[in-house]
Amino acid sequence: MTVFVRALLGATALTLAVSPALAEKLTIATVNNGDMIRMQKLTDDFTAKNPDIELEWVTLEENVLRQRVTTDIATNGGQYDIMTIGTYEVPIWAKQGWLVDLNDLPASYDIDDLLPAIRGGLTVDGKLYAAPFYGESSMVMYRTDLMKKANLEMPDAPTWDFIKQAAAAMTDKNNEVYGICLRGKAGWGENMAFLTAMSNSYGARWFDMDWKPQFDSEAWKATLTDYLDLMNNYGPPGASNNGFNENLSLFQTGKCGMWIDATVAASFVTNPKDSTVADKVGFALAPDKGLGKRGNWLWAWSLGIPAGSQKVDAAKKFIAWATSKDYLKLVADKEGWANVPPGTRTSLYENPKYQEAAPFAKMTLESINAADPQHPTVDEVPYVGVQFVAIPEFQGIGTAVGQQFSAALAGTVTADQALKNAQMITERTMMKAGYIK
Amino acid sequence: MATAHSRVAARFMISPAVLLLLGWMIVPLSMTIYFSFLSYNLLMPGMEEFIGFTNYRFFLTDPAFFAALANTLLLVGGVLVITIVGGTALALLLDQPFWGQGIVRILVIAPFFVMPTVSALVWKNMFMNPVNGLFAHLAKAIGLEPFDFLAHAPLASIILIVAWQWLPFATLILLTALQSLDQEQLEASEMDGANFGNRFIYIVLPHMARAITVVVLIQTIFLLSVFAEILVTTNGGPGYASTNITYLVYAQSLLQFDVGGGSAGGIVAVILANIVAVFLMRMIGKNLEA
Amino acid sequence: MARRVSNRRKTLVTIVAWAVGIAIFFPILWTILTSFKTEAEAIASPPKFLFFDWTLENYAEVNSRSNYFLHFMNSVIISVGSTLLGLAIAIPAAWSMAFVPGKRTKDVLMWMLSTKMLPPVGVLIPIYLLFRDSGLLDTRLGLVIVLTLINLPIIVWMLFTYFKEIPGEILEAARMDGAGLWEEVVHVLTPMAVPGIASTLLLNIILAWNEAFWTLNLTAAKAAPLTAFIASYSSPEGLFYAKLSAASTLAIAPILVLGWFSQKQLVRGLTFGAVK
């Protein structure tokens, strides 16, 4: 036992003593999404060019990742040199001075090539605080064969009324075909991302200019009622636990007629290796209600450097590599153009090879451009963010409200009760946080 | 028999454990108590201020709190009932002679070794999923509509998952107790014409009382803080249908990053746990008095 | 008279017991089977039990994506280390409680158990801050300390119940022979308590191996054990049942094998003084 203890102490002493950098070690926290996993496999290219930098990966599921990196950065824990964060975190963290600004990336990075909407979401006071790895909006993905069977034609820019009509026509429960699949799993990044974006197109908003919650408005009521109506009549069973992944596998296995979700899903559903419906998918913009806003969101998984990091230069080198044009080309060479991380660079969408390989390119770009995080709603609001409200309290409220709407979908509370609860939950938190008296 | 000398030695030997646990309890606990009186959001550093009992007021008036309290009790109680009844039945079964006893015993205790996260993921995705899960396939095979476990019976589903994990533990302890039962006494009563039910109630059950108490105590300690299973399967929903106190505190402090509110919730949870502890101690005191 | 059992009855019990055993084990079996399927077969309807194209591609994928060996070693070091450290602290404490009980001994014991009821989420932030300041974040040492502390009450209690079953007269006799305190503990008490200590050890390795809150929240890359490894497979984009199954199998296999091999010891000792 003593030998073991000694070995143990020795081992821990080794880990405690940070090896005096022959090679600088970057610890990178990232989310376990397909594009990130692919990047991890391609990093030999980076380490070959930068032999003095070693990479260590911490790959976590989205919710765990968010909790880990937020705890770490807020307590100045210094565990990570690069963090994968989204458009929700960047404005909040940048305001706290927690992120290193990335304006001095080399000229070859071509910062002006970033899509303006995405860049805008990651910029605070004119400075870029995180580099987008991939960007997404949301759009309608539908089965062309089922639409044809139903004698309908999907317009490029459908309305919610049309979506409902199409869902009804495509549903065939006996054969396990459900007209529409939407997110139902509770979470600010799950069902609330969809519902908040949808509510924008219905003219609803989270808060008025005095930060008063608006769930008692007619617009929210219409949003939730229509959503429940769609899902209860034409949705799959168990929808209240379906998030992005669950819907993706439903769609890939041919069980959904339409699916309104992240544009990145397009490359998964058209990939014949994973999808049984790869050659039967069409795309359209997220629906609207004729009020001038569409129900699509804007998100970018991005790489940022915590302000406390000792290895800023190495970290910047890595970020410049991972989000560069060359990286896109590297992926294209190895895995084909359809698999490059989408939604970050104008040049990608101008590339004829990409346009050819990715039938969803045009619709993705249009969806991203149609989102405006600075002015997300029909009426004026005091906040930034399309499918979220960029205040620290939002994660908590968003998830609690998401629980209510998820319960409404499961049928354990009525729509009215869910809205009433949502209003109360939000009021309580906003009162506690001092936004309203 | 203890001499003064050995008393001193005993004190000395017990002190590392006591001091360490005291430190482990007092340091974080006092920090938590301190935080619980602050308005402290992790995402807004430098804005902390003393706000008295506001955090407690908000936590205790939260409608989620009472739902969580009830769910916690249901979860603990439900799992205890299933594991003790099931464990007793299993112990009685495994105590019989049959072929392949060793292998069956290995099969039965296996779930105890599985990480809670893994078992929750497996149950959620591969069994309870209403489209691709095995239960759904079964239901479809016999012509039924698949049941959506996690949406329509979230708490019951979680109780099932947790009970699956703890059933082996209860079985093992109850089986050990059963094996130490005096066979002659049993056989004598059998000759006297006592049927199985009577033998079970008057001889077996009293003999196992102590073992059952132990199972209750140990499991309660772990069941009060069930967390991973909820996080993985339902995230506490739909609504608050499967939120327990531990999960509620998690939601406050790590989803909302409201350290003040989360700390107040943590203190409330500690107080509640201690009430349970006192209750348990009474029970154990009666049953475990040597 | 030994229990004479008719063969008919034995056959019946055998069938029932095997059916129950397999039913309880089935989720694990299914996970292992699924880990050898392709993603498409993993969700095939109707489900395939044995007749599918067995493949190792999921294991290859998991292996190329994460450093399984590192996580595995971390799990081993953390669970074994915390258990040994815990035993070193708990054996003297349990000894003194069992053989030199004071008026407060039972209260102390119960108080120790009650510290296990602290909800960990409530104290994460304070602990994180303490770990940051002492440089223990993402170190194996840090996790060994935390897991020792959270399992210490269980260790003390288990040992206490074993020690109490050792008759005091033996110790008296040893003392008469002039054995000092140390000899008493090492030469007399410990050998008698070996089964109890062994099962305490096993149970605590299992508990530490499966602990998923602290191990996940206090580590990043270097000290992350298998619980963190699982967190990277729990819900990625796309089909994932087969990969999840492969990762799950890898995460639970070591402890499952250990548990099976040592089940006799585990069972013998796992009484918590429940059996007189």
Model confidence pLDDT, tens digit, residues B22-34: 888 888 888 889 9
Same-domain status, C147 and C32 = no
With H, G, I as helix, E, B as strand and everything else as coil, classify residue B249: helix
Q: What is the domain extent for residue B279?
A: 53-288
The verdict on C238 touching A (C-beta cutoff 8 Å) is yes
pLDDT of residue A257: 94
- Helix or strand (DSSP H, E) at A283: strand A281-285
Q: Which residue of C has its CA nearest to B244?
A: C119
In a domain, B256, yes or no: yes
Provide the shortest C-alpha distance from residue A66 to chain B (in Å): 9
Query: Across residues B123-129, what is the average pLDDT?
Result: 87
Same-domain status, C84 and C219 = yes
Provide the shortest C-alpha distance from residue B55 to chain A (in Å): 8
pLDDT of residue B64: 86
Task: Indicate the pLDDT class of residue B5, thresholds 50, 70 and 90.
Answer: low
Is the predicted pLDDT of residue C171 greater than 80, yes or no? no
What would the two tokens of residue A232 be? 């209860």
Radius of gyration of chain C (CA): 23
Asked if the Cβ–Cβ distance from B173 to C272 is below 8 Å, we say yes
Q: Which residue of C has its CA nearest to B258?
A: C125
Question: B-chain residues within 8 Å CB-CB of A71?
Answer: 42, 254
Facing B274 at nearest CB: one of C114, C129, C245? C114
- Helix or strand (DSSP H, E) at A281: strand A281-285
Measured from the Cβ of residue C176, the count of other Cβ atoms closer than 10 Å reads 8
Is the predicted pLDDT of residue C268 greater than 70, yes or no? no
pLDDT over 90, % of chain A? 60
Mutation pick from A3, A9, A15, A55 vs chain C, by most beta carbons of C within 10 Å, is A15
Model confidence pLDDT, tens digit, residues B25-65: 888 888 889 988 988 888 777 777 888 888 898 888 888 89
What CATH superfamily classification does A21-136+299-357 receive? Periplasmic binding protein-like II (3.40.190.10)
Query: Across residues A107-117, what is the average pLDDT?
Result: 91
Q: Residues C99, C101, C106, CA angle at the centre, nearest 5°?
A: 125
Q: Which residue of C has its CA nearest to A77?
A: C132
The verdict on A56 touching C (C-beta cutoff 8 Å) is yes
| Region of poorest pLDDT, from C7-21, C125-139, C235-249 | C235-249
Model confidence pLDDT, tens digit, residues C179-224: 676 777 677 777 777 878 888 888 899 889 988 888 888 888 888 8
| Long-range contact pairs involving A208-212 (C-beta distance under 8 Å, separation at least 24) | A208/A379, A208/A381, A209/A380, A209/A381, A209/A382, A210/A382, A210/A436, A211/A382, A211/A430, A211/A435, A211/A436, A212/A436
In a domain, C247, yes or no: no
Asked if the Cβ–Cβ distance from B63 to A409 is below 8 Å, we say no
Is the predicted pLDDT of residue C49 greater than 60, yes or no? yes
Asked if the Cβ–Cβ distance from C275 to B177 is below 8 Å, we say yes
Give helix then strand counts, H and E, for chain C.
14, 0
Q: Are A213 and A207 in contact (CB under 8 A)?
A: yes
| Number of domains within chain B | 1
Model confidence pLDDT, tens digit, residues A49-101: 999 999 988 888 888 888 889 888 988 888 899 999 999 999 999 988 999 99
In a domain, C237, yes or no: no
In a domain, B5, yes or no: no
Facing A255 at nearest CB: one of B131, B237, B255? B131
Measured from the Cβ of residue A347, the count of other Cβ atoms closer than 10 Å reads 13
d(CA B41, CA B253): 9
With H, G, I as helix, E, B as strand and everything else as coil, classify residue A84: strand
What would the two tokens of residue C173 be? 């006799």
d(CA B281, CA B275): 10
A57 beta partners: A28
Model confidence pLDDT, tens digit, residues A262-274: 998 898 898 888 7
Tell me the CA distances in angstroms from C145 to B116, C83, C85, C212, one per residue in order. 22, 10, 8, 15
In a domain, B131, yes or no: yes
Mutation pick from B24, B69, B131 vs chain C, by most beta carbons of C within 10 Å, is B24
Q: Who's near B104: CB < 8 A, 6+ residues apart?
A: B94, B98, C17, C18, C20, C21
In a domain, B119, yes or no: yes
Chains touching chain C, criterion 3+ CB pairs below 8 Å: A, B
In a domain, B269, yes or no: yes
Question: C-chain residues within 8 Å CB-CB of B210?
Answer: 273-276
pLDDT of residue A2: 46
Task: Return phi, psi of residue A26, to 5°.
Answer: -100, 130
CA B135 to chain centre: 25
Q: Are A36 and A75 in contact (CB under 8 A)?
A: no
Same-domain status, C45 and C134 = no
d(CA A343, CA A365): 7
Task: Return phi, psi of residue A406, to 5°.
Answer: -65, -40
Model confidence pLDDT, tens digit, residues A5-32: 455 444 444 444 444 446 788 999 998 8
pLDDT of residue A19: 45
Task: Indicate the pLDDT class of residue A235, thresholds 50, 70 and 90.
Answer: very high
A54 beta partners: A25
Mutation pick from B256, B257, B263 vs chain A, by most beta carbons of A within 10 Å, is B256
User: Does the ipTM exceed 0.90?
Assistant: no
The verdict on A403 touching B (C-beta cutoff 8 Å) is yes
Question: A-chain residues within 8 Å CB-CB of B150?
Answer: 238, 241
Asked if the Cβ–Cβ distance from B43 to A70 is below 8 Å, we say yes
Model confidence pLDDT, tens digit, residues A274-309: 788 989 999 999 999 988 899 899 999 999 999 988
Question: A-chain residues within 8 Å CB-CB of B44?
Answer: 96, 392
Asked if the Cβ–Cβ distance from C232 to A34 is below 8 Å, we say no
Same-domain status, C38 and C119 = no
Please report where in the chains the tokens 């395939």 appear, as a residue: C48
pLDDT of residue B29: 85
Average pLDDT, chain C: 83
What would the two tokens of residue A378 be? 């029909």
In a domain, C271, yes or no: no
- DSSP calls for A18-82: ----SSEEEEEEEE--HHHHHHHHHTHHHHHH-TTEEEEEEEE-HHHHHHHHHHHHHTT----SE
d(CA C177, CA C166): 18
- DSSP calls for B85-145: HHHHHHHHHHTS--TTHHHHHHHHHGGGGS-HHHHHHHIIIIII-TTTSHHHHHHHHTT-P
Asked if the Cβ–Cβ distance from A8 to C144 is below 8 Å, we say yes
Facing A77 at nearest CB: one of C128, C235, C237? C128
pLDDT of residue C126: 84
d(CA A13, CA A111): 43
Q: Who's near C275: CB < 8 A, 6+ residues apart?
A: B176, B177, B180, B210, B211
Q: Are A342 and A328 in contact (CB under 8 A)?
A: no
Chains touching chain A, criterion 3+ CB pairs below 8 Å: B, C
Average pLDDT, chain A: 89
d(CA B264, CA B252): 10
d(CA B132, CA A176): 12
In a domain, C243, yes or no: no
Asked if the Cβ–Cβ distance from B98 to C241 is below 8 Å, we say no
Q: Are A371 and A291 in contact (CB under 8 A)?
A: no
Query: Across residues B262-289, what is the average pLDDT?
Result: 78
A282: DSSP letter:
E
pLDDT of residue C269: 63
The verdict on A326 touching C (C-beta cutoff 8 Å) is no
Same-domain status, C222 and C117 = yes
- Helix A34-42 crosses helix C57-65 at what angle (to 10 degrees)? 70
> In chain A, what are the domain boundaries?
21-136+299-357, 137-297+378-432
| Number of domains within chain C | 2
Average pLDDT, chain B: 84
Is the predicted pLDDT of residue B75 greater than 70, yes or no? yes
Q: Are A117 and A370 in contact (CB under 8 A)?
A: no
Q: What is the domain extent for residue C110?
A: 66-232
Looking up residue B229, the CATH number of its domain turns out to be 1.10.3720.10
Q: Which residue of B has its CA nearest to C211?
A: B115
Q: Residues A250, A251, A254, CA angle at the centre, nearest 5°?
A: 90
| More confident position, C21 or B233 | C21
Q: Are C184 and C171 in contact (CB under 8 A)?
A: yes
d(CA B21, CA A148): 69
Strands (E), A76-230: 82-85, 123-124, 127-128, 131-143, 178-181
Asked if the Cβ–Cβ distance from C132 to A78 is below 8 Å, we say yes
d(CA A81, CA A274): 34
Model confidence pLDDT, tens digit, residues C115-143: 787 778 778 888 888 888 888 988 999 99
Question: C-chain residues within 8 Å CB-CB of B116?
Answer: 210, 212
What CATH superfamily classification does A137-297+378-432 receive? Periplasmic binding protein-like II (3.40.190.10)
In a domain, C19, yes or no: yes
Task: Indicate the pLDDT class of residue B258, thresholds 50, 70 and 90.
Answer: confident
In a domain, B31, yes or no: no
Mutation pick from A240, A428, A435 vs chain B, by most beta carbons of B within 10 Å, is A240
| More confident position, C5 or A36 | A36
Mutation pick from B55, B255, B257 vs chain A, by most beta carbons of A within 10 Å, is B255
**B positions 39-68 inside 8 Å of C (CB):** 42
